[in-house]
């Protein structure tokens, strides 16, 4: 039987959190009342996203508390990045097996490091006893008509991806197989970089955008379905980190890159006329981007090898409880 936390314990944890958060001018009332009061800028749309991390499902059990904190916010900020939105506030629901204050302090180290880096204020949440699980909601803004939606890809658009997809999935394979564990790959799994500046800069330029959480082909297929188009990507164009190249042979690496999840890179489509503009944005935001394919009439996202043959992944992306 799980017990509800004692009031004193719950309030002690909440107080530990409240003491460490930064506020913002648009927070009228943050942690401490029944609800937060927040000012949405006039003329802006409120953008809201939520993601949950469960121990053993969304992160390995040996993940450091600070990395769990970072990742629980990063995956949410990544959703705002994929909308071209600017984050402002977040709320945090913590389900904890016990009142381990050291774990909570470590969690906050990572969570608040990322929150402060992006000027995001933690304005409320909930603290309960149960299996280790973290739900975060982020709130942000985007101007009407500027959001990067999944349903806006057009035939003949280029398909682009940021960063080096496959790193997080590579780390997971190494963790499961208990062989060599590359620290860089593991850092990509534990501390994904939400591509917020890139997403905001693309809002005027890209047509459709999605963040890659379930795997490049699987997530691109969501764009295709919403936009009623097809996509082809060229496997040999997928940008790979040196660490991934060293750790896996080409076939395994390409499978990780095309189908592995958890990278939180942006996959977006844009008119071929805008290639120079996109390269400028990549330089300006310090975010590498690579053109990996194109949008065509039809349906589904498919990958082709260097000789132009259709490539068959073992499985497209990671589905929880599949």
Footprint on this chain of ligand ADP (rule: CB under 6 A): 14, 17, 31-34, 92, 94, 122, 124-127
Report the partner that residue 199 touches, choosing among Mg ion, ligand ADP, none (CB closer than 5 to 8 A by kind): none
Distance in Å, CB of 90 to ligand ADP, minimum: 9
Are the beta carbons of 162 and 212 closer than 8 angstroms? no
47: helix, strand or coil: strand
Report the partner that residue 125 touches, choosing among ligand ADP, Mg ion, none (CB closer than 5 to 8 A by kind): ligand ADP
99 assigned ligand-binding residue: no
Q: Are strands 86-96 and 121-129 parallel, antiparallel or unpaired?
A: parallel
Among 16, 41, 56, 126, binds Mg ion (CB under 5 A): 126
Are the beta carbons of 12 and 18 closer than 8 angstroms? no
User: Which of residues 92 and 231 has its CB atom nearest to ligand ADP in the complex?
Assistant: 92
- Give ∠ CA 190-48-259 in degrees, rounded to 5: 40
19 assigned ligand-binding residue: no
Between the CA atoms of 165, 176, 134 and 52, what dihedral angle is there, to the nearest 10 degrees?
50
Q: Does 305 engage in binding with Mg ion (CB under 5 A)?
A: no
Q: Which two tokens stand for residue 181?
A: 């564990």
> Could you tell me which of 280, 283, 80, 293 has the C-alpha nearest to residue 199?
80
51 assigned ligand-binding residue: yes
156 assigned ligand-binding residue: no
Are the beta carbons of 198 and 86 closer than 8 angstroms? no
**Which residues, listed in sequence order, are joined to residue 59 by a DSSP beta bridge?**
55
Distance in Å, CB of 320 to ligand ADP, minimum: 23
Residues 83-122, one symbol each (x = binds Mg ion by CB under 5 A, - = not), give ----------------------------------------
Are the beta carbons of 138 and 48 closer than 8 angstroms? yes
Distance in Å, CB of 30 to ligand ADP, minimum: 7
User: Which of residues 47 and 122 has its CB atom nearest to ligand ADP in the complex?
Assistant: 122
114: helix, strand or coil: helix
Report the partner that residue 33 touches, choosing among ligand ADP, Mg ion, none (CB closer than 5 to 8 A by kind): ligand ADP
> Could you tell me which of 7, 58, 41, 25 has the C-alpha nearest to residue 321?
58
227 assigned ligand-binding residue: no
User: Which of residues 126 and 305 has its CB atom nearest to ligand ADP in the complex?
Assistant: 126
Q: Are strands 27-29 and 37-38 parallel, antiparallel or unpaired?
A: antiparallel
What is the C-alpha to C-alpha distance for residues 154 and 295, in angstroms, rounded to an integer?
A: 7
Q: Does 130 engage in binding with Mg ion (CB under 5 A)?
A: no
211 assigned ligand-binding residue: yes
Q: Under the rule (CB under 5 A), what is the footprint of Mg ion?
A: 126
Residues of the binding site for Mg(2+)? 34, 51, 79, 126, 211, 214
Residues of the binding site for ATP? 125-126, 150, 213
Residues of the binding site? 34, 51, 58, 79, 125-126, 150, 211, 213-214, 262, 318
């Amino acid at each position: 039987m799980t017990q509800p936390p004692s009031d004193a314990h719950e309030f002690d944890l909440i107080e530990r959190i409240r003491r460490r958060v930064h506020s913002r001018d648009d927070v009228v009332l943050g942690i401490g009342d029944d609800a937060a009061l927040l000012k949405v800028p006039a003329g802006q749309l409120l953008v809201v996203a939520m993601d949950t991390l469960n121990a053993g499902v969304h992160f390995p059990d040996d993940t450091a508390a600070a990395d769990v904190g970072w990742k629980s916010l990063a995956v949410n900020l990544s959703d705002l990045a994929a909308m071209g939105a600017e984050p402002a506030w977040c709320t945090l629901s913590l389900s904890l097996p016990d009142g381990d204050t050291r774990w909570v302090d470590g969690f906050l180290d990572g969570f608040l490091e990322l929150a402060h880096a992006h000027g995001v204020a933690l304005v409320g949440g909930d603290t309960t006893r149960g299996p280790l699980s973290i739900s975060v909601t982020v709130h942000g803004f985007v101007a009407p008509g500027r959001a990067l939606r999944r349903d806006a890809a057009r035939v003949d658009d280029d398909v682009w991806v940021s960063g080096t997809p496959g790193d997080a999935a590579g780390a997971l394979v190494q963790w499961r197989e208990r062989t060599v564990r590359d620290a860089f790959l593991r850092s990509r799994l534990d501390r994904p970089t939400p591509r917020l500046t890139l997403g905001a800069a693309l809002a005027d330029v890209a047509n459709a955008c999605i963040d890659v959480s379930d795997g490049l082909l699987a997530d691109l297929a969501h764009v295709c379905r919403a936009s009623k188009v097809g996509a082809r990507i060229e496997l040999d164009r997928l940008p790979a980190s040196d660490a991934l190249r060293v750790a896996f042979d080409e076939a395994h690496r390409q499978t990780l890159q095309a189908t592995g999840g958890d990278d939180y890179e942006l996959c977006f489509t844009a008119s071929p006329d805008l290639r120079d503009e996109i390269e400028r944005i990549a330089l300006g935001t310090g975010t590498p981007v690579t053109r990996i394919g194109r949008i065509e009439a039809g349906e589904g996202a498919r990958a082709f090898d260097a000789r132009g043959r259709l490539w068959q992944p073992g499985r497209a992306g990671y589905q929880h409880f599949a």
